[in-house]
Structure 1
Amino acid sequence: MEPMAPADAHCGSAACAHAFCRACLAGHVRAKVESGGAVVRCPDASCAAALDPELCRAALPADVFERWCAALCEALFVGARRTYCPFPDCSEMMVAEDDDAGGGEGDCVTQSECQGCRRLFCARCLVPWHAGVSCGEFQRLDVGERGREDLLLLETAREGKWKRCPRCRFYVELAQGCLHITCR
C-alpha cells in the first residue's frame, strides 16, 4: 500500500481522524446509501463515527451526495406516514397528514399539491388527481379505466345520465324508449 498524499486524503468526520482516498470514500458511501442506509459510519472497522455529508461532499459524485442527503432527510421522518408524488418525473417525498381524526371518506384530505412539481394528486389513491370522481368510485374502476380520458368520459356519462351495459360495460345514452339495454 502506497502512502497517500495529504491533498488526496479526505476526512469525512470531525469525530475521527481517519482519512481515505476519494474513490474509497465515494464507494463506501454509495454502497451504504444503495443498501438503504442513511447514517454512514466511518469506513474504518474499529471506528463508529458517523460521516458528515458536507465534509465528504468534495470526494463524492453529485448523484451520490444528493441521494445520501435525500436518505438523511427521509430518516428524519421515522414513524411518520410518508407519501411520494405519483408523477414518475418527480417522486417528491411528502409527510402525509394523519387522517385518523376524521373517519369517513369526506373527512380526510384527498386533493393535494406536490411541493416539488406543483401538480395535483390524490393523497388517498396516490395517483394524479381524479377530478369529478370520488376515491371510492376511482377504486372500483378497472385499472385500464383510470386514465385521464377515461375519467373525463366517466364524468360526462354521469352528467348525461348515461347507463352502462352490464355485459360489455359500454356506456349508452337513453334517447328514447324504455330502460332496457340490449348488448350487440
Structure 2
Amino acid sequence: MYVESKLQEYIVKIRCPQPECEVGLFELQRCRGILPKEVFDHWGDALCEAMILEDEKFHCPYKDCSTLMVNNGGELVKEFECPNCRRLFFAQCKVSWHDGIECDDVQKLNKDDKEKEDIMFMQLANINKWMRCPKCGIFVEKSHGCMYLKC
C-alpha cells in the first residue's frame, strides 16, 4: 500500500518509510515478490516514463485513450495518428484534430474549451469570419460597419 500511495503521488524513487533504514531507496526488482502484479507493473511503467525527457513525450489527447508516445526523432511532430486508438490529433498543440484552425488559435483557448465540439465551433467561426471581442472573448458577427469591436 505504501508503494501504491507513492505512485499515486507521481513519486517513482521510493524511499523506505523507516527513518533508521540503511537501504534508502527501494529497488523495483527486489520488491517483485511482495508487490501485487498490477502495482509492480505500474511502478515499472512509471520508472520507464520518468526516464524519457519531458519534451520528447506526449500523450494522445483523447480522454478515453491517453496513450504515451515518444518523439525521439528530434523533429517537430505536427499531425499524428495515435497507434492505439487510430484517431488523428495535432501533437504540437496536444489536442484533437482541428483542420482549418491554426495551432496558435487553439492554444489561446481555455483548457476546458479544447473538446471536439469547441474545435468544431472554432472551425465554424473561421468559415463565417466571426471575430472575438478582445475584452470578453465572446464571438460576434460583423454585419456592417468598420472592424472596431466594443464590449
Say which SS state the counterpart of residue 89 (structure 2) adopts: strand
Structure 1 partner of 2:13: 37
Q: Which runs of 5+ in 2 are unaligned?
A: none
Q: What's the CA shift for 1:166?
A: 5.3
Partner of 1:172 in structure 2?
Answer: 141
From the superposition, tell whether residues 140 and 28 of structure 1 become closer, same or farther in structure 2 (CA, over 3 Å): closer
**2:13, 2:25 within 8 Å by CA — same for their partners in 1?**
no
2:43 aligned partner: 68
Aligned: 1:138 with 2:106 = yes
Amino acid at match of 2:44: C
TM-score, normalised to structure 1, is 0.53
- Equivalent-residue separation in structure 2 for 1:150 and 1:111 (angstroms): 19
How far apart are the structure 1 equivalents of 2:68 and 2:121?
31
Rg: which structure is higher?
Answer: 1
Q: Verify: 1:92 aligned to 2:103, yes or no.
A: no
Give how far 1:95 is off.
Answer: 1.3
Give the AA of the match of 1:52: Q
Check 1:118–1:144 CA distance in 2 against 1; reply closer, same or farther (3 A cut): same
Query: Structure 1 vs Structure 2: percent identity of aligned residues?
Result: 33
Deviation at 1:48, TM superposition (A): 9.0
Equivalent in the alignment of 1:7 = none
State the superposition RMSD in angstroms. Answer: 4.0
Provide the residue aligned with 1:148 in structure 2.
116
Runs (5+) with no aligned partner, structure 1: 1-26, 100-107
Deviation at 1:181, TM superposition (A): 7.0
Match of 2:92 among 112, 121, 124: 124
Question: In the comparison of the two structures, how many residue pairs are matched?
Answer: 142
Cα distance in 2 for residues equivalent to 1:85 and 1:49 = 31
Alpha-carbon distance, 1:113 to partner: 2.5
Kept in 2, the 8 Å contact 1:165–1:181? The answer is: no
Corresponding residue for 2:29? 52
Change (3 A) 1:80 1:61: same
Aligned residue number for residue 111 of structure 1:
79
Partner of 1:83, secondary structure, is strand
